[in-house]
Amino acid sequence: MTDMTSSVQSTFVRPAQARRDIGIKRRYAAERRFKAYGLTAILIGLFFLFVLLWTVVSKGYTAFQQTAITLPIEFSEKIIDPKNERGANPAKLMTANYPLLVRDALVKALGIDPANKPLVKQATDMVSASARTQLRDLVVANPAIIGTTATVSLLAEGNIDSANKGQIDLTVAEANRKVKDQQIEWMKKLSETGAMAKQFNTGLFTYGASSRPEASGIGVAALGSLYMMLIVLVLALPIGVAASIYLEEFAPKNRLTDLIEVNINNLAAVPSIVYGLLGLSIFINFAGMPRSAAVVGGLVLTLMTLPTIIIATRAALKAVPPSIRSAALGLGASKMQTIFHHVLPLAMPGVLTGTIIGLAHALGETAPLLLIGMVAFVVDYPGSPMDPSTALPVQIYMWANEAERAFVERTSGAIMILLIFLVVMNLGAILLRRRFERRW
């Protein structure tokens, strides 16, 4: 205090040029240095972001294509239903020897001697084992196809697919690679006739888990994730907003509410795997809910998302100018009317942003789902949230553990899809913010 008054007096008395050195040059130098640090930090961040995206995209973009072998398949009645029982017992169609159809078609297309068993085996290995179910589904859906010849596009086996995309080094010794010389020759032949070609990989979006990479996709996992997101949205948004409104507007400010506030802030920082343990012990072991079900996953993710939503909502409520509250109260609005007619609508952009960020966080969460058994090999679409299902990030985690080259590209491909989902959700948050934002 004395310093201040004395300097005020002395500057008043002293002439301007005699002012004491306050280090103008140093100040500007410090400012320039600080700007340089900031710029460096941003550049480093951008570099790593670029490296991350480059790695994922360069590895993953091939996952969106899949090699298919298109063959004229003769749906011979002799093979599918030799005793003509399908009228009496349609289940016969389910167990027919469909791989034989594929073998015959390959033998014909490649001109192999059917008696040469090892050669025929090499040929049939080029087509995915999923061809059995593909042909079965065709026949079951349309039994009239039996006895005719139809052109069917079959999935190439994973290694053939990888070789066709140039991902397998074909120059190494034949014994050290999965694709044999004879198969390479056939691939060339099939490619020349146009029977083997790459096409857009719709299966990546529709299939479920499979041990064969060419027949595995994220469809089932995506549906599981969708169920969980809906559960999180339906539970976390109303609970979170109601809790925030109560804490921010109605609760008395005392030790207890302070404690609750501190705890909510801490809960936002609790490692997500702890929520998984909580879900395991409460929802599965105590409440007896089904294992690996989206409903449990949704509940666990709700618990995890709640603190984020509550913190965002409280911040948004706090940011509403008090003059708006006074205006409404001064007109005789009740507290509830003030909040629901004026404060909450103005806080809505913040609430929605917080909710979507929380949902995006939940969508990418893996650890808690591992503990409640959602690391499951789920082939069929879950009919309801109570059925066993898995989630997108868990599917990525499981694929990342697989050895085949074709799973590596699928892992990156699935990461790309997940990232696109997250970007879309964040864009949605920004757009909602713009849409609801009001200036005063």
CB 204 within 8 A of CB 63: yes
We find the least distance from the C-beta atom of residue 396 to another protein, in angstroms, to be 44
Q: What are phi and psi of 352, to 5 degrees?
A: -65, -40
Which of the stretches 56-64, 274-282, 327-335, 349-357 binds another protein when contact is defined by CB under 8 A?
327-335
Task: Determine the angle formed by the axes of helices 98-110 and 181-193, rounding to 10 degrees.
Answer: 80
Is 247 one of the binding residues for another protein (CB under 8 A)? no
Is 286 one of the binding residues for another protein (CB under 8 A)? no
Q: Which is nearer to another protein, 181 or 258 (CB)?
A: 258
Task: Determine the angle formed by the axes of helices 294-319 and 272-279, rounding to 10 degrees.
Answer: 130
Length of the chain: 440
- Applying CB under 8 A, which of residues 15, 252, 288, 383 lies at the interface with another protein? 252
- Applying CB under 8 A, which of residues 20, 25, 117, 438 lies at the interface with another protein? 438
Is 324 one of the binding residues for another protein (CB under 8 A)? yes
Residue 251 burial (C-beta neighbours within 10 Å; 0-12, 13-18, 19+): middle
Which of the stretches 51-59, 82-90, 257-265, 325-333 binds another protein when contact is defined by CB under 8 A?
325-333
CA angle at 85 for the pair 83 and 88, rounded to the nearest 5°: 160
CB 57 within 8 A of CB 138: no
Is 334 one of the binding residues for another protein (CB under 8 A)? yes
Which residue pairs, CB below 8 angstroms and at least 24 apart, start in 86-94?
86/143, 86/146, 90/140, 90/143, 93/136, 93/139, 93/140, 93/143, 94/136, 94/140
Q: Which is nearer to another protein, 199 or 326 (CB)?
A: 326
Q: Measure the N-to-C terminal CA separation of the chain; round to a whole number of Å.
A: 40
We find the least distance from the C-beta atom of residue 354 to another protein, in angstroms, to be 21
Which of the stretches 132-140, 146-154, 183-191, 319-327 binds another protein when contact is defined by CB under 8 A?
319-327
Q: Which is nearer to another protein, 89 or 323 (CB)?
A: 323
Is 140 one of the binding residues for another protein (CB under 8 A)? no
We find the least distance from the C-beta atom of residue 23 to another protein, in angstroms, to be 38
We find the least distance from the C-beta atom of residue 356 to another protein, in angstroms, to be 23
Please list, in sequence order, all residues whose beta carbon lies within 8 angstroms of the beta carbon of residue 130, skipping any fewer than 6 positions away. 155, 210, 212, 214, 215
Residues 28-87 that bind another protein (CB under 8 A): none
We find the least distance from the C-beta atom of residue 332 to another protein, in angstroms, to be 4
CA distance 193 to 196: 8
Please list, in sequence order, all residues whose beta carbon lies within 8 angstroms of the beta carbon of residue 163, skipping any fewer than 6 positions away. 170, 179, 183, 184, 187
We find the least distance from the C-beta atom of residue 337 to another protein, in angstroms, to be 6
Is 256 one of the binding residues for another protein (CB under 8 A)? no
Q: Which is nearer to another protein, 90 or 321 (CB)?
A: 321
Strand partners, 152: 71
Q: Which is nearer to another protein, 211 or 337 (CB)?
A: 337
- Applying CB under 8 A, which of residues 175, 331, 383, 401 lies at the interface with another protein? 331
Report CA-CA distances (Å) from 8 to 5, 18, 19, 218. 5, 14, 12, 72
- Applying CB under 8 A, which of residues 325, 386, 421, 428 lies at the interface with another protein? 325
- Applying CB under 8 A, which of residues 333, 386, 422, 432 lies at the interface with another protein? 333
Question: Quick count: other Cβ atoms within 10 Å of Cβ 112?
Answer: 17
Is 330 one of the binding residues for another protein (CB under 8 A)? yes
Q: Is the dihedral of CA 88, 89, 90, 96 positive or negative?
A: negative
Q: Which is nearer to another protein, 97 or 334 (CB)?
A: 334
Q: Which is nearer to another protein, 204 or 346 (CB)?
A: 346
CB 383 within 8 A of CB 366: no
We find the least distance from the C-beta atom of residue 231 to another protein, in angstroms, to be 34
Is 260 one of the binding residues for another protein (CB under 8 A)? no
CA distance 248 to 373: 37
We find the least distance from the C-beta atom of residue 357 to another protein, in angstroms, to be 24
Which of the stretches 54-62, 186-194, 258-266, 336-344 binds another protein when contact is defined by CB under 8 A?
336-344
We find the least distance from the C-beta atom of residue 334 to another protein, in angstroms, to be 6
Q: What are phi and psi of 288, to 5 degrees?
A: 70, 30
- Applying CB under 8 A, which of residues 346, 375, 392, 396 lies at the interface with another protein? 346
Q: Which residue ranges make up the site for another protein (CB under 8 A)?
A: 252-253, 321, 323-334, 337, 341-342, 346, 438-440
